[in-house]
Amino acid sequence: MKDVTTVWQEANAEQLSLTLAGIDSLEAMQNFLRDVMTEKEIIEIGARLEAARMLRRGTKYTDIVAKTKLSSRTVARISDWMKNGCGGYDVVLNQARSHHNHMLPERVG
């Protein structure tokens, strides 16, 4: 694992990561994120996660930009973070894949 950035040495940043790690339900997470972030910020982070998924699948930048509405520069940064960052995208994408395989079937009717 790469060296973690010094941002986590800040007490407020550490408190944020501990808070997020302690949230144990989808509803609680959604409520917390909505209270601390704007709708635009939530959509932006969701788009970055989708871009990471698409990059992992080998999707072309132009297709990622078209689907996510992110700039090509942002997609390039995400690609760089996936290759040279702290491994956070890999952890989250692997976790999401694991959770997806255990989702309840869709309700009918």
Is 59 part of a structural domain of the chain? yes
Is 108 part of a structural domain of the chain? no
Residue position matching structure tokens 């788009």:
47
Both tokens of 19, joined, read 């808070």
Range of the domain at 64: 7-100
Chunked in runs of 10, what are the mean pLDDT values of the chain (109 residues)? 71 94 95 97 97 97 97 97 94 80 46
Quick one: pLDDT at residue 52?
A: 97
Quick one: pLDDT at residue 95?
A: 87
Find the CATH number of the domain harbouring 24: 1.10.1270.10
Is 44 part of a structural domain of the chain? yes
Quick one: pLDDT at residue 96?
A: 76
Is 1 part of a structural domain of the chain? no
Query: Structurally, how many domains does the chain consist of?
Result: 1
Q: Is the pTM of this model over 0.85?
A: no
Counted residue by residue, the chain has a size of 109
User: Helix, strand or coil for residue 17?
Assistant: helix
- Following DSSP, what letter does each residue of 9-58 receive, concatenated? GSHHHHHHHHHHHH--SHHHHHHHHHHHS-HHHHHHHHHHHHHHHHHHTT
